[in-house]
Amino acid sequence: MGMVARLVAQRLALGLLLLFAVSILIFAGTQILPGDVAQSILGQSATPEALANLRKELGLNEPALSRYFSWLGGLLTGDLGTSLSSGADISSAIASRLANTLFLASVAAVVSVPLAILLGLIAVRYRDRWPDKMISAVTLASISLPEFFIGYVLIFFVAVKLAWFPSIATVYDGMGFGQRLMTVALPAATLTLVVLAHMMRMTRAAILNVMQSAYVETAELKGLTAFDVIRKHAFPNAIAPIVNVVMLNLAFLVVGVVVVEVIFVYPGMGQYLVDHVSKRDVPVVQACGLIFAAFYIGLNLVADIVAILTNPRLRHPK
């Protein structure tokens, strides 16, 4: 258990170090963007005196290193800063947006993860037969299409032609759970189709790799059915790579919602980020970028820890 705790502590330390490095890249990237923040806020008709006063008020005249550590200190205390375009507190504005994004990602995950694993098991069970070929063809077509195309196709056929679900995913406080599910049905379906193919194909590949092991052959020689061999022997030993793939796709569900939220005008983090990128609202862009990076790194850490706990070879590398 001491070895496991040490490996987990090392992964957590590396995750924090990586997040620190990402914060530097995010801050540096926003600082080297072309244009003048003060000019974009006040407009082209602003006087030089007004521009100079706003730059002083925003702290733009201070050295970049000083501004970075001031921003980092605020992050460590939970202060994400103030929006330049609206003057609102970013932490308060992001709270509801982040909740909406997590709800959308959770709905897509609840549908896509079990479905991907089930389709992967079916594809392995009927390997090289028509169910496997049909599932592989459909998922290959799905993974080849960008999410914005899938989203617009769903809007046209499901929302416009059939009128089953709304084409604009507008949610608000006080909305019932069932009504909220109806509202996010199309963006959740879009995200599901995007990540389902990747998870299913990797699940199939991981189980097929395990199926070549000697203990699987022994189970087959004992007379176990193909389904029992997969369920009792192949699938449990393929958990580690499957978990890695699932966590990577869950990270995409949180980080990759930007395009989907813009298409369906969904009030989440992605829409919030795009709105303030167009306004050149640097503090909001920095906060959103860091939150997305934290989720991505965190879910990858979870995948690493699960792999360590389920694979003895990772706990004893020697």
What are 209-253's pLDDT values in tens digits?
776 666 666 766 676 676 677 666 666 666 667 777 777 777 777
In this prediction, residue 51 carries a pLDDT of 65
pTM given for the model:
0.76
Ranges of each domain in the chain:
2-76, 99-278
Give the HSE-up count for residue 171: Cα atoms under 13 Å, Cβ half-sphere: 28
For the record, the structure tokens of 213 come out as 């092991």
Say what the pLDDT of residue 311 is.
Answer: 63
Residues ≥6 apart with Cβ < 8 Å to 209: 238, 241
DSSP letters of 55-117? HHHHTTTS-HHHHHHHHHHHHHTT---B-TTT--BHHHHHHHHHHHHHHHHHHHHHHHHHHHH
Q: Give percent above pLDDT 70 in the chain.
A: 77
Query: What is the CATH architecture assignment of 99-278?
Result: Orthogonal Bundle (1.10)
Average pLDDT, the chain: 76
**pLDDT tens readout for residues 132-172:** 788 878 877 777 777 778 878 888 888 887 878 877 777 77
Quick check: 299 and 243 in contact, CB under 8 A? no
